[in-house]
Structure 1
């Protein structure tokens, strides 16, 4: 039964993405010819349908989808969401949370040329980042600040639609091999990359209502979370969304201000230590619950 549920849920995810991805691509072509507000609203309507389809697929799999959302988070607001990254399933999980404003992502500039992904992201107004390196700025000082201005310009469309910009601060999915290679001080996490998060904050600061610190935890199955989902063996998904007022988040120019760079790195590391402790406590609690349930079933 578990295998059937997993297979059906996976098929729904694939079909859901194929259907709405194609419609968004086609509507994106219309947007090229008719860049009207009506077209943009239609695109976001399709995108929201994709998000609801993701939620439906999670429920079909039989997984217990548990979310704890801070009361300050408003579905009509604008937020930067910073999360740990465990699996490809993270994107499905975060887009399936209806209480969040429309989730969007910062994408690498190279992805704009990828069929469906690039065109779909462009059509939905997601920003493509092309940041100048320190070496490039040293050779050409005119580049200083251009990456921020360019990305701010691409984010203007966010003002027209409540948005949650999602940032996976670790930059890559967690594996034990990566953890060991980094010599990470965390039990369940990789080291957060402060630069990308600080850049996103700097670009969006004028549009944000606050920051969301998101913690994702998966219980059951094996270490390959997406494979566990496909096999119907994933038991519980815990998501905790904490609201952080912007006044409590250090702000500045990460690339040019060394003092701010240190301050923000310390801030993000402190958040990651708290996140690591939270994952540890919830994982221990879930293990205890599973052990009790097993004992009860044997009585």
Structure 2
């Protein structure tokens, strides 16, 4: 029965995606031929409405068909009229829908840091591009040193998003570990944390440097699954078990808006210390649970 539920869930997700693909493609083509940023902003608002519609319909059938056991602990004061930076650990593709279930309509339009390879996913990749999500290569340190021009392109993508973000409030989501947690990745990266991979600082440091003065706050999200090996397929089959999502609101320290992560070594070291302390606290919280 659970497999049948998963197949129906996958069909519902696919059907909803195909339905919203029609206005998505039409508005994307219109955006390509629209001259000037002011006019393109209007088209972009239409694209954002399409994206929010896709999310809203998915959440409706997920709540009524899958009925996930999601336990939420959210701070007061969340608003769609402010800018936000959302940081979360990453266990499964289910994380994205858990975040949507928790924060949809509580925060403004979501923007994700996404891997560049995802642009090849039909419809979804087009949406990432049309909505101006920063699409990054997720280079290793060795790759950045060998190909600095590729690292610069990632920085430029983040800069463009932050510049456009000043036009209206958005929520910027970042899975700071850069990939989903697995025991193999944990061992390969020699992670100093028990339940987490080492965080990557560059993208969020750049966001805080460019957009920190606009942010209503940083939302530190911790995701925990009752099952040790969560998967999106199990979620679609309604056999994932209890999902715990807790969030705390952090103020943006003043020093974060007054430095350059890529040029100032002292600022970079201070930022790494702040992020590592945040990750140590998250790891300790997961360990206590």
TM-score between both structures, scaled by the size of structure 2:
0.82
Contact conserved, 1:126 with 1:155, CA < 8 A, in 2?
no
Asked if the contact 2:158–2:206 (Cα under 8 Å) also holds between the matched residues in 1, the reply is no
Distance in 1 (CA, whole Å) between partners of 2:18 and 2:85 is: 27
Distance in 2 of aligned mates of 1:113 and 1:233: 29
The corresponding residue for 2:133 is 126
Question: 1:225-266 CA deviation, whole Å, 9 max, x = no partner?
Answer: 213213321122221121111127745222222222221111
CA distance in 1, matches of 2:229, 2:114: 27
Larger radius of gyration: 1
Please say if 1:102 is aligned against 2:109. Answer: yes
Identify if the C-alpha distance between structure 1 residues 21 and 66 changes in structure 2 by more than 3 Å, giving closer, same or farther: farther
Q: Which of residues 79, 84, 87 in structure 2 aligns to 1:79?
A: 84
Q: Does 1:92 align with 2:97?
A: yes
Which segments of 5 or more consecutive residues in structure 1 lack a partner in the other structure?
283-299
Q: 5+ residue gaps in structure 2?
A: none
Structure 1 segment 1-299 matched on structure 2, within 5 A? 1-34=1-34, 35-59=39-63, 60-96=65-101, 97-98=103-104, 99-108=106-115, 116-129=123-136, 133=144, 151-220=158-227, 223-247=229-253, 250-251=256-257, 252-282=259-289
Q: Would you say the 8 A contact 1:13–1:53 is kept in 2?
A: no
Q: 1:230 to 1:136 in 2, by over 3 A?
A: closer
1:135 Cα shift? 6.1
The change in CA–CA distance for 1:113 and 1:12 in structure 2 (over 3 A counts) is: closer
- Change in CA separation of 1:88 and 1:149 when aligned onto 2, cut-off 3 Å: closer
Q: Which moved more, 1:269-278 or 1:18-27?
A: 18-27
CA contact (8 A) 1:152 1:204 kept: no
Is the contact between residue 158 and residue 203 of structure 2 (CA under 8 Å) also seen in structure 1? no
Q: Secondary structure at the match of 1:90?
A: helix
Moved more, 264-273 or 125-134: 125-134
CA distance in structure 1 between the partners assigned to 2:154 and 2:194 by the alignment: 35
In 1, distance between residues paired with 2:13 and 2:117? 25
TM-score, normalization by structure 1? 0.79
SS in 2 for 1:152: helix
Query: How many angstroms does 1:180 deviate by?
Result: 1.6
Task: Output the CA distance in 1 between the equivalents of 2:82 and 2:278.
Answer: 23
2:86–2:221: 8 Å Cα contact kept in structure 1?
yes
